[in-house]
């Protein structure tokens, strides 16, 4: 993956997370060097510049002596690396390193080319700094980025080839020389939202997959209750052209292609319950907010978010607030509401599947159903999903003597969204299993669409691979239903 002046896509970042090699092109090196020249000029002129010739935070107006300037960048890296909780997973660490590398490549950081080179070298060699999971309030992920920056100078800890060692030892084993900090290097390494943006990229990719999976679960449930598919007709989307809604309806029609449901039948209800009837609208809303979150992540990924910002065109360093990823944070707060809406629909459809299951004659009912067993756990999952929908972006207290009196809580918002996706995945899996249980009551194999048929086969493979029920369960079932054959499936 060559880092150039072209925007980096979320998919490109994910490739780096998965191990793609990273390189910098010559034009990018020149752009970084041009930004560093502005910093060197400001140092030579003795200009008051935040974090360069002054202290930071509440001491921002305190000038540094020439001796202090020499050690300030190292001091910033060492003094800001605290955190609590389990360490960040390796994919998030790799994402954070790649986000910072791409941000420096924009040229606004004032970092040296050597900073970009060591970040690329660490990614390519698999030197993964150990950083705590909880540390940032979303006004740059300063503490976690500082923990990563410590490894670049031979401090801190890092995982290398499955072993956690000192930062110095990890660099030595990888054949990477430690970085000598100068100019604005330390501040450039830590004043960035690498963790928030990096994890957000992973989250939006996962969310897009969940949006597809939600359609599959709804489609199989529609097959199970013989739903009315008029809701998917193109005329509906033409009447209300929300792109996500149209895309969801198109996907559902494609999955159901070949199903008898798409052929009008008099015996079907003229309208189904809302949990079926508004699937395109609710699933479409999820797609809309996945798109909004992805757009926000892409913007942050390719932005120069440093403070102070180096303006090469103006040859100045500008104090600013680009380190505040407000749009991305609010987009993830909104995304969780959309996820909860989809989860609510799934849980409500399960009630109708449950009813459909028990409307069949007792002699046709499977005696063991995975979905049936998980119906109540599904009901327990939804309140958790609903609670996670509460906003994270309004809860950061004032810090540093009320100077840092606003934060975005970006890492919390992204983490909560990741957790919400896990809960929704579980809900959708249970819905698939319950729809499978209902379809198993048919006297003959049901005629399904090409897509829903493939989905059902996948579910059946998962059931077949599951642990068999203990003999005690079989005995209990035989005693409960002495006139019915009891097998592992029925």
CA neighbours within 13 Å on the CB side: how many for 262?
A: 19
Question: Strand pairing partners for 132?
Answer: 87
The residues, ordered by sequence, that sit 6+ positions from 95 with a Cβ below 8 Å of its Cβ are 13, 16, 17, 194, 195, 197, 198, 199, 201, 202
What is the chain's alpha carbon radius of gyration, rounded to the nearest angstrom?
A: 27
pLDDT of residue 347 exceeding 70, the answer is yes
Strand intervals (E) in 243-345 = 309-311, 316-318
Q: How far apart are CA 297 and CA 459, in angstroms?
A: 33
Task: Provide mean pLDDT across the span 252-264.
Answer: 95
CA quadruple 19, 21, 27, 31: dihedral, nearest 10? 50
Alpha helices in 258-325 (DSSP H): 274-277, 279-301
pLDDT at 55: 86
24-28, 60-64, 355-359, 481-485, range with the lowest pLDDT: 481-485
pLDDT tens per residue across span 463-488: 888 866 555 666 666 676 676 665 55
Question: At residue 294, does pLDDT exceed 70?
Answer: yes
Lowest mean pLDDT among 133-142, 187-196, 418-427, 464-473: 464-473
* Reported pTM: 0.92
Q: Which residues in the chain are classed under CATH 1.10.275.10? A: 2-192
- Among residues 481, 488, 442, the alpha carbon closest in space to that of 464 is found at 488
**What residues does 84 pair with on adjacent strands?**
134
In the chain, which segments carry CATH 1.20.200.10? Answer: 200-480
For 200-480, which CATH class? mainly alpha
Which tops the pLDDT comparison, 114 or 266?
114
The domain defined by 2-192 folds into Fumarase C; Chain B, domain 1 (1.10.275)
pLDDT at 360: 76
């Amino acid at each position: 993956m060559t880092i150039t002046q072209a925007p980096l896509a979320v998919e490109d970042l994910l490739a780096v997370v998965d191990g793609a090699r990273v390189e910098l092109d010559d034009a990018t090196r020149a752009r970084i060097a041009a930004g560093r020249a502005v910093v060197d000029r400001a140092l030579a002129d003795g200009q008051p510049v935040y974090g360069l010739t002054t202290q930071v935070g509440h001491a921002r107006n305190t000038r540094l002596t020439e001796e202090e300037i020499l050690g300030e960048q190292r001091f910033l890296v060492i003094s800001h690396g605290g955190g609590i909780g389990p360490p960040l997973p390796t994919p998030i660490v790799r994402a954070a390193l790649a986000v910072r590398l791409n941000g420096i490549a924009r040229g606004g950081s004032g970092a040296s080319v050597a900073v970009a080179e060591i970040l690329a070298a660490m990614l390519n060699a698999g030197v993964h700094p150990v950083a705590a999971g909880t540390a940032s309030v979303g006004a740059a992920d300063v503490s976690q980025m500082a923990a990563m920056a410590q490894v670049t100078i031979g401090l801190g800890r890092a995982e290398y080839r499955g072993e956690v060692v000192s930062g110095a030892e990890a660099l030595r084993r990888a054949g990477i020389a430690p970085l000598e900090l100068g100019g604005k290097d330390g501040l450039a390494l830590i004043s960035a939202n690498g963790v928030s943006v990096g994890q957000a990229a992973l989250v939006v990719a996962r969310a897009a997959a969940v949006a597809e999976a939600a359609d599959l679960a709804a489609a199989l449930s529609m097959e199970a209750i013989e739903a009315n598919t008029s809701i998917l007709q193109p005329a509906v989307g033409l009447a209300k052209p929300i792109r996500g809604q149209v895309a969801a309806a198109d996907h559902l029609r494609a999955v159901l292609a070949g199903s008898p449901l798409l052929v009008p039948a008099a015996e079907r209800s003229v309208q189904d319950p809302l949990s079926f009837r508004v699937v395109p609208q609710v699933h479409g809303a999820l797609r809309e907010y996945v798109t909004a979150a992805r757009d926000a992540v892409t913007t942050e990924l390719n932005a120069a978010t440093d403070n102070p910002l180096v303006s090469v065109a103006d040859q100045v360093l500008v104090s600013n607030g680009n380190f505040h990823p407000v749009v991305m944070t609010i987009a993830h707060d909104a995304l969780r509401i959309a996820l909860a809406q989809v989860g609510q629909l799934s849980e409500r459809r399960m009630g109708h599947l449950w009813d459909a299951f028990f409307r069949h004659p007792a002699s046709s009912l499977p005696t063991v159903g995975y979905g049936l067993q998980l119906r109540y756990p599904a009901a327990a999952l939804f309140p958790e999903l609903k609670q996670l929908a509460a906003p994270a972006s309004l809860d950061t207290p004032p810090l540093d003597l009320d100077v840092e009196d606003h934060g975005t809580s970006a890492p919390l918002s992204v983490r909560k969204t990741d957790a919400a996706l896990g809960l929704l995945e579980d809900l959708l899996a249970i819905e698939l299993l319950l729809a499978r249980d209902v379809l198993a009551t048919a006297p003959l194999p049901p005629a399904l669409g090409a897509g829903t048929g493939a989905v059902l086969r996948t579910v059946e493979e998962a059931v077949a691979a599951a642990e068999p029920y203990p003999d005690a369960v079989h005995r209990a079932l035989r005693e409960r239903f002495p006139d019915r054959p009891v097998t592992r499936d029925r």
